Amino acid sequence: MYVSITGLRVKRWWLMPVFWRHAVPTFKDAQNAKGNIHSAVRRIGRVHHTLTVWDSRADMLAYLRSARHAYAMRRFSSFATGRVYGYEAEVPPDWDAALAQYHAHGRDIGP
């Protein structure tokens, strides 16, 4: 299975509506996407995290390339900064394990 964990931080408080306008529908799409096993969100401080678990990396990439997610990612740098990490796992991780991987290996996303 493939695990993806992201952390997004909105640049300014007044950009929160823009963030939510993209975050809510794309997260719902992830929950319903082919191959999605688990989807969860958690806010830690000012960072909004998503944790998704997929049957395969291919399933995650298909979602990543979906029209709504691709559009949100093109707009992303105008309202947020972020980091992401994806990795293969034998079992779905809990939040602590996924966050440890994210902090150790995450890479910045955006321009």
User: Per-residue pLDDT tens for 58-99?
Assistant: 999 999 999 889 888 888 888 899 999 999 999 999 999 999
> Which CATH number do you get for residue 66?
3.30.70.100
Q: Which helix (H) or strand (E) holds 42?
A: strand 36-44
* Assigned token pair, 57: 């990396």
Enter the tokens of residue 12.
Answer: 């300014």
Q: What is the Cα–Cα distance from 91 to 81, expressed in whole angstroms?
A: 29
Separation CA 64–CA 76 (nearest Å): 13
Strand, helix or coil for residue 7 = strand
pLDDT in tens, 3-22: 999 999 999 999 999 999 99
Q: Please count the structural domains in the chain.
A: 1
- Domain assignment of residue 66, given as a range: 2-109
